[in-house]
Amino acid sequence: MQSGDLSAVRLLIVGDVMLDRYWFGDVSRISPEAPVPVVKVERSEERPGGAANVARNAAALGAKVSLLALVGDDEPGVSLKRLMSEGGIDASLQVDEAVTTTVKLRVIGRQQQLLRIDFETTPSHEALRAKLSEFERRLPDCDAVVFSDYGKGGLTHIGEMIRLARAAGKIVLVDPKGDDYACYAGATIITPNRSEMREVVGRWKDEADLEQKAAALRNELALDALLVTRSEEGMSLFRAGGALHEKAVAREVYDVSGAGDTVIATLAVMLAQGADWAKAIHVANVAAGIVVGKLGTAVVTRAELDAALN
């Protein structure tokens, strides 16, 4: 099985972007000031996170990708712009002087994450309005829209954006956040992970119970489908024609951060290319199996994906 020709696929990614910073070092002693390890930093890395990581994943598969998001008037915002242009992504990163760009700084010692420090603020109303009109302008030039919601305030107008996209006949995928999914009503598919799904529908006692809860949520939000990513249990797609399950791809799990970004990016690319649900979730599941074997927010290349599919 191959992923097929993906170069004609055009995606528009909208959402919360962030800069993932990694400080790697050696830990050889405990601090005399407090019972914490002392990390002697030896190297650092910067990677796009959030919606920017979704964009990077889709571009790595060969799709033409546009990204619409907000950043602050600061050095991390400049870094994100540079990383997007290096990745061949047409990024419209609107500068909101009222915010600082979201940064997640991870301190890693001996391949273990020791600490994460987050810097973030909520965007201003004016910047969000400007983003909505830019969205309308870019909508005709894409086959599918991906909304990557990290709860940072960049998707305040998502309900209106989903309505516009569906009216224009686009496939709409949402990676959701929080416990109220009403704002995602009318999307083609949403992709909560297991714990996010529990937050919204409560616990389920068995597969049949999960299927009922998924059907109720799907009907309530008028979705075509609902994909629940379930870590070691693989992933389950719920739609009118019944459920489809994909077993987890067994491999060394190194880091699950960013795996959801890889899943939704791959799913969007496959659906936009015309794949059916079964093929799209199979390919997305294989991609997730590759990316959890890498450290930090990472991508799966087209060559890696085709090799794994074969």
Residue 272's contacts (CB-CB under 8 Å, 6 or more residues apart) are: 9, 10, 11, 63, 143, 144, 171
Gap between the Cα atoms of 47 and 255, Å rounded: 15
Catalytic residues: 261
Gap between the Cα atoms of 281 and 285, Å rounded: 6
Q: Are 150 and 132 in contact (CB under 8 A)?
A: no
Residue 275, helix vs strand vs coil: coil
Gap between the Cα atoms of 261 and 288, Å rounded: 9
Rounding to the nearest 10 degrees, give the CA dihedral for residues 196, 197, 199, 204.
-140
DSSP class of residue 193 equals B
